[in-house]
Amino acid sequence: MNAHTHADLSRRFFLRCAAAVAGGALAESASAAEPLPKELDAAIAKLESYFTPQDKFQDVSRGRPVPHTLPLDKRKEVGLTPETWKLDILSDPEHPAKLGKQLTAKDGTALDFAALMKLAEKHAVRFAKIMTCLNLNCPLGTGVWEGVPLRELLWLTQPKGDVRRVFFYGYHNDDPKQMFRSSLPVGRVLEDYDGLPPVIACYKLNGELLTQKRGGPVRVLVPEHYGFKSVKWLTHLFLSNGPAANDTYATQNNDVDSPMKTFCEHKYSPAKVKAGVAVPLTGYAQAGIGGLSKVQVWATPAEKEWPKDDPYFTKAPWTDATILPPPADWGVKPELLKGAFGFDGAGKPKAWPMRLAKAYWAALLPGLPAGAYVVRCRTIDAAGHAQPMPRPFRKGGCCEIESWELTVEA
Ligand SMILES: Nc1nc2c(c(=O)[nH]1)N[C@H]1C(S)=C(S)[C@@H](COP(=O)(O)O)O[C@H]1N2
Ligand SMILES: [Mo]
């Protein structure tokens, strides 16, 4: 490293620290290389806490009635409380796997919550994940999820072979038509490749037991996938020699093999501003399996036509937004993050932005002449793909470039 580069780096580091101090709420930044202008303070202060309180998650659960609305007596009867919960772990009757044994409620050998907690003493893991529905463009919430790696449950059956996939479903009012099922290749459950956290049988969110509404007592949580793989009110887990996905979502024309995409949306943008006055913008970006390297914004006069042969606006004069650093206050107890997957012993993320989670961003557009504008934002993933590439197709998850209106008054 030559002296010039070093001086330049030091200057950048100084600016980062200045930004951290000026921002107040912001911890030391690894990504904000410039101090944030004061005009952004108010919009940044409006951003929600990083982690979503359990009762603030959006809900898309199916069921008639939805299982979490059942009265307590009924929930006890069907095993939807920690004291009554039971999980059958079975060989798929249609494509049998060779197992040493099965765990079944019928034989009194099903896994109960106490046995799961016993496994948790040795194997429990926590990780951050954004929960997003493949069919919605806005995430349902971001949490620290705790559970036992699902492979520990598979190993209880002493599998000998003929296992290619696992599938699972939850309580569905004992009505086959209401069953919500998802599946994974067994290899993904057994091994955490590509730096991924394990697939878990999850019983806690943000340090609290999973509520009925979030799928308690136990749900599956698949770190890299959209919400439909994370089956709630888990009751049945199958080891299967079937070769293909049998997810309920596949019957609804969804791409059930595509992990989460990288994309962004705005959170704050004024509806109207005065001509020549800088425009504060904030938003969030979901860092999908492809990671996140940049968020960019662009405002253009509404009447201006864009060439039809550039549907993703790749030739537009995008400018970089600032990806905000990890928050000083995450919205959960700090102890929860110490030693969690992807965090160090002090509770600091090892990399930022964190994959399969989110980051907030902010940008200050320079003042504009009076008129009607369209503003857009997009992400650039870690490999350099600008949104919605490299996977633009809708059925593998939402990633359209968001656009919204801005009026600039004389
Ligand atoms: N048993 C069951 N699990 C389910 C569902 C369901 O309808 N029933 N919906 C799935 C879908 S499509 C999504 S997006 C997530 C949403 O998780 P959340 O309700 O905790 O936000 O749950 C998944 N798990
Ligand atoms: Mo979903």
Is 62 near ligand 1, meaning CB less than 6 Å away?
yes
pLDDT value for 33 = 55
| CA 338-49-281 angle, 5° bins | 130
Distance 5 CA to ligand 2 centre (A): 48
Task: Assign domain 9-36+261-409 to a CATH class.
Answer: mainly beta
* Residue located nearest, by CA, to atom 17 of ligand 1: 227
Element (H, E) at 4: helix 3-23
Q: What is the distance between the terminal CA atoms of the chain, rounded to a whole angstrom? A: 50
In the structure, ligand 2 is a single-atom ion and the residues with CB under 5 Å from it are: 133, 227-228
Q: Closest ligand to 134 CA?
A: 2
Q: What are the extents of the domains in the chain?
A: 9-36+261-409, 54-252
pLDDT value for 19 = 38
3-state DSSP assignment of residue 349: strand
Q: Closest ligand to 139 CA?
A: 1
Helix, strand and coil content of the chain, in percent to the nearest 5, comes to 20, 30, 50
Cβ proximity of 215 and 170 under 8 Å? yes
Q: Closest ligand to 247 CA?
A: 1
- In sequence order, the β-bridge partners of residue 323 are 361
Distance 129 CA to ligand 2 centre (A): 15
Is 232 near ligand 1, meaning CB less than 6 Å away?
yes
Q: Which of 51, 59, 61 to mutate to test the pocket of ligand 1 (most atoms within 8 A of CB)?
A: 61
pLDDT tens sequence for the chain (410 residues): 333 333 333 333 333 333 333 333 344 344 445 689 999 999 999 999 999 999 999 988 888 888 889 999 999 999 999 999 999 999 999 999 999 999 999 999 999 999 999 999 999 999 999 999 999 888 999 999 999 999 999 999 999 999 999 999 999 988 899 999 999 999 999 999 999 999 999 999 999 999 999 999 999 999 999 999 999 999 999 999 999 999 999 999 999 999 999 999 999 999 999 999 999 999 999 999 999 999 999 999 999 999 999 999 999 999 999 999 999 999 999 999 999 999 999 999 999 999 999 999 999 999 999 999 999 999 999 999 999 999 999 999 999 999 999 999 99
Cβ proximity of 92 and 241 under 8 Å? yes
Supply the pTM of this predicted model: 0.91
* Residue located nearest, by CA, to atom 5 of ligand 1: 61
The token duo for 192 is 């955490």
Superfamily of domain covering 54-252: Oxidoreductase, molybdopterin-binding domain (3.90.420.10)
CA distances from 169 to 126, 176, 214 (A): 22, 11, 15
- In sequence order, the β-bridge partners of residue 221 are 200
